[in-house]
Amino acid sequence: MMRIPASLLLVLLAAGCSSTPGDRAFYEGLRQDNARRQYEPGRDISREPPPPSFDAYEKERQRLREDKVR
């Protein structure tokens, strides 16, 4: 009886760890918004470097996950 809720919980946890197409859109939207804000009037002259692309971000996430497992 306890197998079904436990299995469902594991599936939901695994689904929460994977990236979806919506993750890419959300990340890129934040990245573009931050880049736009840097050039608003009244902002400091020193500009922050642009954040990495979603692909670079996802690759770093995978690397950190693998390091954590080891």
- Residues with Cβ within 8 Å of 52's Cβ and at least 6 positions away in sequence, in order, are 60
| 22 vs 62: which has the higher pLDDT | 62
pLDDT digits (tens, 9 = 90+) for 27-49: 888 888 887 877 777 766 666 67
Query: What's the pLDDT at 53?
Result: 87
Question: Model's pTM, two decimal places?
Answer: 0.42
Task: Reply yes or no on whether the pLDDT at 22 is more than 70.
Answer: yes
Where does the pLDDT of residue 64 fall: very low under 50, low under 70, confident under 90, or very high at 90 and above?
A: very high
Q: Rounded to an integer, what is the distance from CA 64 to the centroid of its chain?
A: 13
